[in-house]
Amino acid sequence: MPRILVLNGPNLNLLGTREPHLYGSQTLPDIIGRLEQLASARGATLVAVQSNAEHELIAAVQKAKQDGTDAIIVNAGAFTHSSIALMDAFQAVALPFYEVHLSNVYAREAFRHHSYLSALAAGVIVGLGAQGYEFALEAALTRLASRR
């Protein structure tokens, strides 16, 4: 059974009330609930972690290597644009991962245009709101199925 980690970084616990014109009206539990439904319909296990702390996100990536996780979907929030340490964690574990951003970061401030993660990612989805996570899950499961 494929195992997928969905990792959300700082301030994504505020979804629903945080700048809804940018990030939409769904809460993080709404988004995770929908992903769990989709995963279980595809016979996959979904594990969700959200943290505002860089070291906890790094620990979750490191743990994924040990616990049989097959792929990671990550929205690292602002750490996307700042965290060499998180990039190193993804490089170290070498698990396929999909980078998601709810907003179109390229239509926003210049500092959001650079991601430390994108060059390592299996795919990047930006600007499609909560549906971006669903597309990432679909892509991850399709790729895993083709490799089994």
Instruction: Name the site residues for ligand DQA (rule: CB under 6 A).
Output: 11, 75, 77-78, 80, 101-103, 105, 112
Alpha-helical runs (H) found in the chain? 20-23, 28-41, 54-66, 84-93, 131-147
Q: Which of 42, 48, 44 is nearest to 29 (CA)?
A: 48
Q: Which residue is nearest to ligand DQA (CB)?
A: 77
Q: How far is the CB of 80 from ligand DQA (least distance, A)?
A: 6
CA distance 145 to 139: 10
- What single-letter DSSP state applies at residue 133? H
Catalytic residue among 21, 81, 101, 133: 101
Q: Which of 23, 98, 116, 133 is catalytic?
A: 23
Identify which of 108, 97, 50, 59 has the alpha carbon closest to the alpha carbon of residue 77. Answer: 50
Distance in Å, CB of 71 to ligand DQA, minimum: 19
* Residue position matching structure tokens 């505002």: 52
State which residue, 23 or 46, has the beta carbon closest to ligand DQA: 23
Q: Closer CB to ligand DQA, residue 42 or residue 103? A: 103
CB atoms within 10 A of CB 32: 18
The answer to whether residue 106 is catalytic is: no
Least distance in angstroms from the C-beta of 70 to ligand DQA: 23
Smallest distance from the beta carbon of 147 to ligand DQA, in angstroms? 28
Between CA 133 and CA 12 the distance in angstroms is: 13
Nearer to ligand DQA, 69 or 80 (CB): 80
Active-site residue numbers? Answer: 23, 101
